[in-house]
Structure 1
Amino acid sequence: MATAREARLATVEYRADQVFDRIGRFLAQHRLSPDPLHYAFAYRVISQPAGVLAQSVAALTEGGIRLTARDIEKLGGQVATGATPDIPDATDAVEGLVAQTQMHVEGFTDMMHAIRTETQDFGRDLAASANAMRASDSAGDIVRLTGVMLDRVQSAETRLAAATHEAEELRLKLEEARSNARCDPLTDLPNRRAFEESFAKHMQAGDAVCLAVCDVDRFKRVNDRFGHSVGDRVLKAIAEALTTACPGHMVARYGGEEFTVLFVGTTLDDAYATLERARDVVADKRYRLRESDEPLGAVTFSAGITEAKPGEFLGSVFGRADKLLYTAKDNGRNQIRRL
Structure 2
Amino acid sequence: MDRKKINRKTATEAIRFLDANMLDATPTNYTFAYLYLTGANGWLRKQVDGITDGGVRLHQKDVDDLMDAAPGETGHGAASTLDAQMDEQQAGLRHQMLSFADLTAKALNNTGAFGRELAESAEQASGTRDLASVISAMIEKTAEMERRLAETCRETERLRQDLDAARDDATRDALTNLPNRRAIDRQLKTFADHGMPMAIAFCDIDHFKSINDRFGHAVGDRVLKVVAETLAETMAPHVVGRFGGEEFVVVLPQVDGATAFTLVEKARTAVGERNLRVRDTDEVIGQVTFSAGIALCGNDPEAALREADSLLYEAKSSGRNRTIYKAAA
TM-score band by shorter chain is 0.5 to 0.7
Partner of 1:323: 310
Q: Deviations over 1:137-191 (max 9, x none)?
A: x523x34433433333222222112111222233233334333333223223222
- TM-score, with normalisation over the residues of structure 2? 0.66
| Higher-Rg member (1/2) | 1
- The Cα offsets for residues 87-140 of structure 1, whole Å up to 9 and x where unpaired, read as 959x92x8635522421321331343254245436535653664xx3xxxx523
Cα deviation 1:250-276 (Å, max 9, x = unaligned): 111111111001122221122122212
What is the one-letter code of the residue matched to 1:333? R
1:235/1:257 contact within 8 Å kept: yes
1:218 aligns with 2:192: no
Partner residue, 1:297: 286
- Given residue 316 of structure 1, which amino acid in structure 2 is its aligned partner? A
User: Who is 1:105 aligned against?
Assistant: 101
Corresponding position of 1:168: 157
Aligned positions of 1:43-122 closer than 5 A: 88=86, 92=89, 96-117=92-113, 119-120=115-116
Structure-2 change in CA distance of 1:276 and 1:225 (3 Å): same
The AA in structure 2 aligned to 1:258 is: E
The DSSP-based 3-state class of the residue aligned with 1:207 is coil
The unaligned stretches of length 5 or more in structure 2 are 1-26, 33-58, 65-79
Structure 1 segments, 4+ long, off by >4 Å, are 27-32, 82-85
Query: Counterpart in 2 of 1:265?
Result: 254
Amino acid at match of 1:252: G
Q: 2:100·2:159 contact (CA, 8 Å) conserved in 1?
A: no
Instruction: Give 5+ residue unaligned stretches, structure 1.
Output: 1-26, 33-57, 66-81
The amino acid of 1:169's aligned partner reads R
The aligned residue for residue 139 of structure 1 is: 129
Q: TM-score, normalised by structure 1?
A: 0.64
Counting matched residue pairs gives 257
Report the secondary structure of 1:232's partner residue: helix
Deviation at residue 211 of structure 1 after TM alignment:
0.6
For the residues of structure 2 that align with 1:288 and 1:118, how far apart are their CA atoms?
Answer: 65
CA contact (8 A) 2:114 2:145 kept: no
> For 2:249 and 2:303, how far apart are their aligned partners in 1?
15
Q: Distance in 1 between matches of 2:100 and 2:237?
A: 39
Query: How much does 1:317 deviate?
Result: 1.5
Q: CA RMSD in A?
A: 3.4
What one-letter code is carried by the residue in structure 1 that aligns with 2:112?
A: R
* Alignment correspondent of 2:220: 231
**Percent identity between the aligned chains?**
33
